[in-house]
Amino acid sequence: MTEEGVLVGQAAVDELLHVLDLDRTGEMSFRGMSPSVGPQRVFGGQVAGQALVAAGRTVDPERLVHSLHGYFVRPGDPTEPIVYDVENIRDGRSFSVRRAVARQHDKPIFFMSASFQVVEEGLDHHAPAPLDVPGPDEVPTMVDRLGRYPERLGIWSIIPRPIDVRYVGEPGWVRPGDRPAEPKQRVWMRIDGKLPDDPLLHACALTYASDLTLLDSVLSVHGEVWGPGGVVGASLDHALWFHRPFRADEWFLYDCWSPSASGSRGLATGRMLTTDGRHIASAVQEGLLRRVGG
């Protein structure tokens, strides 16, 4: 399925699955590629998702990932393969911990620690979901949004779109002055097709999605936008916790806000909730944010 030459729907999902399907080059080493069409540097969600694939493939599949913490240290080159080396930090009775380092040109571009746990029962609670959020079918699609701002399309006009993204408020890429200041950035998301029934793959897809709009919440506080007349940015670090079973190809609300911004850095946090209000994951990210001219 294409939309004016852009991969969307299941075709784009299949491309994402291909990107996440790493080649195994050794017992603890893997190699990944970037999409054939993409931005000038590797998307952070891609390298984090691939690193989780690498780490997860060295762990007993009965142990599910419950958290990851990563640092982006260099821009990735999308024209070059990415080598992932995994270190076995510990295999205990209940938990396994791995460290994965992504390298290009013999230099690290990203490193991540991830922890995996056997399924256990215990205390169970979560904060209630927000009550004032329209459902995914009640807010504009990405195509509707993009149609209003053809001059702001940028990379969106050519890259595959495997994730159905529907902003509840104004996105961060509208024209300067078109975005009101808001304390929250809320976005409905789902993989725009069908994924295999592999919990690790769904966790990797959610990791990929978690980097798409999180820093928007920093700009949202100030009514700022990305690009000319606004701000440029890059992810510095990223943390993600998985709380409950989920499917990344079903709708979830990414409810994000920013508790602080200073020193050209912004901190953003978000929680992901299913349509029936289950809290499935939480994310925290700090990003570099700098003003640019018009």
Of 46, 104, 210, 235, the active-site residue reads 235
State residue 1's pLDDT score: 44
- pTM, to two decimals: 0.93
Q: How far apart are alpha carbons 71 and 13 in whole angstroms?
A: 26
State residue 292's pLDDT score: 85
185 is catalytic: no
**Is 217 assigned a catalytic role?**
no
CATH superfamily of this structure's domain 2-119+137-291: Acyl-CoA thioesterase, double hotdog domain (2.40.160.210)
Q: At 197, is the secondary structure helix, strand, or coil?
A: coil
Question: Which one of 34, 185, 258, 285 is the catalytic residue?
Answer: 285
Place of tokens 């979560």: 126
CB-CB contact of 282 with 271 (8 Å):
yes
Helix (H, G, I), strand (E, B) or coil at 39: coil
Q: What are phi and psi of 23, to 5 degrees?
A: -85, 130
CA distances from 33 to 30, 42, 43, 277 (A): 10, 10, 12, 36
Low-confidence ranges of the chain (pLDDT < 50): 1
Residue/partner pairs of 101-109 with CB below 8 Å, 24 or more apart: 102/47, 102/50, 102/51, 102/76, 104/74, 104/76, 104/77, 104/80, 105/77, 105/80, 107/74, 108/73, 108/74, 109/42, 109/47, 109/72, 109/73, 109/74, 109/75, 109/76, 109/82
Q: What is the pLDDT of residue 154?
A: 62
The residue annotated as part of the active site, out of 211, 216, 249, 255, is 211
DSSP, residue by residue, 116-166: EE---------PPPPSS---GGGS--HHHHHHH-GGG-GGGGTS-B-EEEE
- Are the beta carbons of 68 and 52 closer than 8 angstroms? yes
pLDDT (0 to 100) of residue 9:
85
Domain positions in the chain are 2-119+137-291
Q: How far apart are CA 146 and CA 219, in angstroms?
A: 19
- Quote the pLDDT of residue 39: 65
Mapping DSSP to helix (H, G, I), strand (E, B) and coil, where does residue 236 land?
Answer: strand
Whether residue 235 lies in the annotated active site: yes
For 192-216, how does the pLDDT look when each residue is reduced to its tens digit (9 = 90+)?
999 999 999 999 999 999 999 999 9
Residue with tokens 């930090």: 89
